[in-house]
Structure 1
Amino acid sequence: MPELPEVEAVRRGLARHLTGRTVERVEVLDPRPLRRQEGGPQAFSRGLSGRRITGAVRRGKLLWLPLDDGRALAAHLGMSGQLLVRGTVASPPPEAERRAVTDASADGADLTAQRPPSLVRDLSVHPRHLRVRLHLVARPGDAPGGAALDLVDQRMLGGMRLSALVPTPDGGPGGEGSAEPGVPAEATHIARDLLDPLLDRQAVQERAGRSARAVKTLLLDQGLVSGVGNIYADEGLWAARVHGSRPGSGIGPAGLGELLDRTAQVMTRALAVGGTSFDALYVDAEGAAGYFARELAAYGRAGRPCRRCGTALRTERLAGRSHTFCPRCQVPARPTSARR
């Protein structure tokens, strides 16, 4: 499932291509991604037609496009969802994004993903698994076939819906890409993420430090800190030399603080190269893949040597999820009986 870096890469593309654009009409080819929409596909189409998109916002792994009527088009990508823009001319990326790419290059990151996506940008007009298409009001410079936003989803575990915006629990901006203190109604339980300057790191550390749950489970808890999934949890734990089975209460404030910092650093590096793509299911809004997979240190590398010490990495099941770790650098928690 796309995690924070991948969803943020999509959000940035949507912001550049769609801000200020108006939806002309909606084409629903398969109603299943709209299963959570009140009133069904008809209400979805009526509510979007004629509306102007005012931006693109992300909180954790949830995306939404604020509309000029005060509502938002919320989207969750699930395991295989793609939001693809076609026929539009994008605005240039903001200076902050360009500076982040330059900084990553200086740190030796592989920036292949920042090259023009010559092989993937020419998207098919009728891609397989196209579910919903938003046709946009024409503008000068659009492609001859018109401009659109497509929802393409092979497994259909994600979806879209029109949603009311409600006040944020803490009164701060809803998420990355907006200064407005509102989030979709279904997102009020989602915590701020590790790249959000308004995240209360001290509160996260204190809550995690009181918990007997495995620390990897805590990292994956979107109500504690959002945006982290299996990939970046394994990467952050490896970087901090912490085994995912250790209880939060057994790590200590300094260790938890370092873990959060290391995980944030990994996600920042991943974002600079477009995120992590293992196959064609994850691409950004322009159809380009992310290239962080070649820099992964733990996730997906079971049996391969640790990049620090050379020990073969191992994988085990932890709370129903895989956990890849170095048995030398990341010492597992001792069984309770052994601590007595």
Structure 2
Amino acid sequence: MPELPEVEVVRAGLARWVVGRRIDSVDVVEPRSLRRHRPGPEHFTATLAGREITDAVRRGKYLWLLLTSGNDPAPLAMLAHLGMSGQLLVKPPEAPAERHLRVRVTFDDRDLQLRFVDQRIFGSLQVTELVTTADGGPGGLGRTGLPLLPPEVAHIARDPLDPAFDDSDFADRVRARHTGIKRALLDQSLISGIGNIYADEALWRAALHYARPTETLTRTAIARLTDAVRQVFGEALDAGGTSFDALYVNVNGESGYFDRSLDVYGRAGEPCKRCGTPIVREKFMNRSSHFCPVCQRKR
């Protein structure tokens, strides 16, 4: 599944290429990709037609395109979740249709199309009415900074790249938990956007064992971990994301390549880049954790 840097790369691409454009028409090739839009495909296409996209916003791994509302009583957005294999591609209309094309949005200038491609159909699109954020801050990372977000995303916490993320509050909430630190990092209601790969990478940089009890962590250690998450995210964004197959691509169809720079994930048996000790892989929540048994001792 794409992690936060992948989704942020897509959001930035959408902000560059589709914000400010007006939707002319929508072609639903696969109705299952609209299963979360309960009024159905016809309502989806009719609602989007004629609206301008005013912002591309992301919270955690969710992203949405803010729309002009016209006479609607509440602000509207097209909410996208990429699932396991969803892609949002910006292509010229004459470009051949992708094999797994599910939804095609054509703009009134006829220069570009926004295409939702999804091999496994775990992703989805829907039009939703926005609500006010609980804390009064921006709904997510975007240009406008409006205090609005889809209700479907309201339970998702802010991520460390969000300017409204509160480091002190995060430290307090972590220390109040009674769980392992990696489990806490993967809890999207506590901190969003961190998946298995980047959790391992950040924990290695912060020299913390993945099972370290959260209540034993000092505020200094949590601050070190939060900084490590931001560093990993920042480097992944610079590189274009992490990709292990052809499923993740950005809006221009270019695969990410941050996997070439991973320090610990997927390197079981290879020497730690800090101390030379072989990296260990252990089962964790039906997945795996990778760590250095010397640099990341469980206390």
TM over 0.5: yes
Aligned mates of 1:291, 1:319 — CA distance in 2: 26
1:213-252 deviation per Cα after TM superposition (whole angstroms, max 9, x unaligned): 1100101111111111111101000101111111111222
- Which position in structure 1 is the counterpart of 2:72? none
Alignment counterpart, residue 214 of structure 2, candidates 242, 248, 254: 248
Aligned ranges for residues 138-157 of structure 1 at < 5 Å? 138=109, 142=111, 147-157=112-122
- Which position in structure 2 is the counterpart of 1:336? none
Does the Cα contact within 8 Å between 1:245 and 1:318 map onto a contact in 2? no
Identity of aligned residues (%): 52
- Which position in structure 1 is the counterpart of 2:98? 127
- Structure 1: segments with no counterpart, 5+ residues: 89-122, 334-340
- Which position in structure 2 is the counterpart of 1:74? 79
Aligned ranges for residues 149-298 of structure 1 at < 5 Å? 149-177=114-142, 178-298=144-264
- Secondary structure of 2:235 counterpart: helix
1:31-51 deviation per Cα after TM superposition (whole angstroms, max 9, x unaligned): 111111021111111111111
RMSD: 1.4
Aligned mates of 1:78, 1:322 — CA distance in 2: 20
Tell me the amino acid that sits aligned with residue 147 of structure 2: P
1:1-55 deviation per Cα after TM superposition (whole angstroms, max 9, x unaligned): 1111111100011011101111111111111111110211111111111111111
Aligned mates of 1:229, 1:170 — CA distance in 2: 25
Aligned mates of 1:276, 1:8 — CA distance in 2: 12
**Which stretches of structure 1, 4 residues or more, deviate above 4 A after TM superposition?**
none
Alignment counterpart, residue 303 of structure 1, candidates 254, 269, 280: 269
Residue 279 of structure 1 and its aligned partner are, at CA, apart by 1.4
Does the Cα contact within 8 Å between 1:34 and 1:159 map onto a contact in 2? yes
Aligned mates of 2:233, 2:175 — CA distance in 1: 22
1:196-216 deviation per Cα after TM superposition (whole angstroms, max 9, x unaligned): 121111111111112111100
Highest relative contact order (Cα 8 Å, sep 6+), 1 or 2? 1
Aligned mates of 2:288, 2:226 — CA distance in 1: 20
1:133-174 deviation per Cα after TM superposition (whole angstroms, max 9, x unaligned): 1111125xx2xxxx2111101111111100111001110111
Aligned mates of 1:65, 1:33 — CA distance in 2: 17
- Secondary structure of 1:10 counterpart: helix
- Secondary structure of 2:53 counterpart: coil
2:34 equivalent to 1:63: no
Residue 261 of structure 1 and its aligned partner are, at CA, apart by 1.0
C-alpha distance 124-250 of structure 1, shift in aligned 2 (>3 A): farther
Residue 269 of structure 1 and its aligned partner are, at CA, apart by 1.1
Residue 321 of structure 1 and its aligned partner are, at CA, apart by 2.8
Does the Cα contact within 8 Å between 1:6 and 1:284 map onto a contact in 2? yes
1:292-334 deviation per Cα after TM superposition (whole angstroms, max 9, x unaligned): 111100112122221111211111122333111111111135x
Count the aligned residue pairs: 293
Tell me the amino acid that sits aligned with residue 165 of structure 2: L
- Structure 2: segments with no counterpart, 5+ residues: 70-74
Aligned mates of 2:55, 2:163 — CA distance in 1: 20
Does the Cα contact within 8 Å between 1:316 and 1:323 map onto a contact in 2? yes
Aligned mates of 2:201, 2:164 — CA distance in 1: 23
**TM-score normalised per structure 2:** 0.95
1:42-83 deviation per Cα after TM superposition (whole angstroms, max 9, x unaligned): 111111111111111111110000000120000011111100
